[in-house]
Amino acid sequence: MTLLVVGANHTSAPMDLLEALAAADSAALATGALTSPHVAEAVVVSTCNRVEIYAEVDRFHAAVDDLTAVLAKATGQSVVDVTPQCYVHYDERAAQHLFEVGAGLNSMVVGEQQILGQIRSALADAQEAGTAGRELNEVTQAALRVGKRVRTETGLDRAGANVVTVAYADAFEQLSARGGPQAEQARLLVVGAGALSSLAVAHAARLGVGEVTVASRTVATAQRLAASYDARGAALDDLPALLADADVAVFCTGAVGTIVDRTAVAGVVAARPDRTLVLVDLALPHDTDPATAALPGVVRIDLAALAERPEAHADHSDSQAAAQIVSDELRDYFAVRAARAVEPVLVSLRSRGTAVVDAELVRLRERLPGLTEDEWATIEQSLRRTVNTLMHTPTVRIKELAADPDGQRYADALNSLFDLSVDLVDSMLLPREKLGETP
């Protein structure tokens, strides 16, 4: 079994496809992946700008076809249309991709902070649903470790950059350029009460935004979030009135379909022609009608626009340092995996050494019946120490050979050094050597 990822993100697919994928239930995608006879485990990472299925598979091409079909079904589009908008990574490149995602190198806003929590949640959901096993757990935990190292050892996220902070920078620049108030005097509306909404409210508090209101379908939920930041909670049913009072409205509900159309926004701005309304749509699928951007007095900022902001790009030295961490961790991860793969062989070698010593002791007891038990103990200790010493260097070499991509060299070395069965050696090869095909 080997790691495979099939997915789409902001660099490979248009927003309409990402919106369709984001609307799909992650658990349903993972369950759909497991209907393939070639998939043993599946974890789905779904964020505001990516949907990816990570899977442990036994065939490359067949598994790619099956996972692409799962994504296509979720979008309601044909496989032919979806395939060119997806990327595929396999084996070491798949693990590298996951590590880069965890590091924040593959995000719309490089170094953004939410991705680690999103990966952690994806793994927890898969474990709870029973779609993730040992292999995906280990590689995902390694990706989380990479992300923590990057944030600790580099300055990739020194500005705390994430979608919310970049969105606020853009929103208040746009508002100020049109004669609107500065952040300290502005009225901000956050629509939604989930994790991204919490970030939006928290950052508004850090910026010292003049007045913050949180709107949610459940008033009590909005009030709980608002209470933590000296904000006000309100019902989503009051959205027209709330918009009429706002300078900036941030949308991140996670709803399927728009909750604010062009007509509603047109009515709001018509009643206040001297004020600008900035709509920040961080949802995927989007919460606001893209057509609202054409209305006079309205500025609409979405995820695609945020990707063009300078803050979305990291300092080159920080990116290089993060990439080096990814490279180091990737090497270590596959070294550990290779060592684990040959452990059964090492157990067999140790058993063979023990058997040789035991047989020799039996032979010597028959030839030297007059020795005392203390003398036999000394002989046995000497024999076992000699065998262990002789086996030490070959054992180290076996672990080194295990990580070599040339599986035949590994098999030949074991067979030559220890006269092992080639069938036994082949059964211990790294998964990529056993798939019978290459990507």
User: From the first residue on, what is the mean pLDDT of each consecutive set of 10 residues in the chain (439 residues)?
Assistant: 93 86 91 97 91 96 97 94 96 96 87 87 96 96 96 76 84 94 96 87 94 94 92 94 96 84 94 95 88 95 82 77 95 82 72 85 90 92 91 76 61 62 46 45
pLDDT, position 78: 95
Chain centre distance of CA 17:
19
pLDDT, position 430: 44
In eight-state DSSP terms, residue 208 is T
Distance in angstroms (rounded) separating the CA atoms of residues 248 and 168 = 9
Angle at CA 347, nearest 5°, toward 345 and 349?
70
pLDDT, position 439: 52
Distances in whole angstroms, Cα of residue 426 to Cα of each of 57, 82, 92, 338, 429: 18, 38, 20, 14, 5
Distances in whole angstroms, Cα of residue 185 to Cα of each of 23, 181, 207, 258, 298: 36, 6, 11, 29, 19
In 218-315, alpha helices (H):
219-227, 239-245, 262-270, 303-306
Asked whether 26 and 59 are in contact (CB, 8 A), the reply is: no
Which structural domains are found in the chain, ordered by start? 2-160 (3.30.460.30), 163-310 (3.40.50.720), 336-433 (no CATH)
Q: Which residue has the tokens 């203390």?
A: 374
pLDDT, position 286: 86
In eight-state DSSP terms, residue 13 is S
CA nearest neighbour of 173 among 165, 2, 199 = 165
pLDDT, position 437: 46
In 287-430, alpha helices (H):
303-306, 316-341, 343-367, 373-402, 407-418, 422-427
Asked whether 306 and 280 are in contact (CB, 8 A), the reply is: no
| pTM exceeding the 0.85 threshold for the entire prediction | no
86 is a catalytic site residue: no
Please identify which of the residues 48, 189, 204, 299 carries the catalytic annotation: 48
pLDDT, position 429: 45
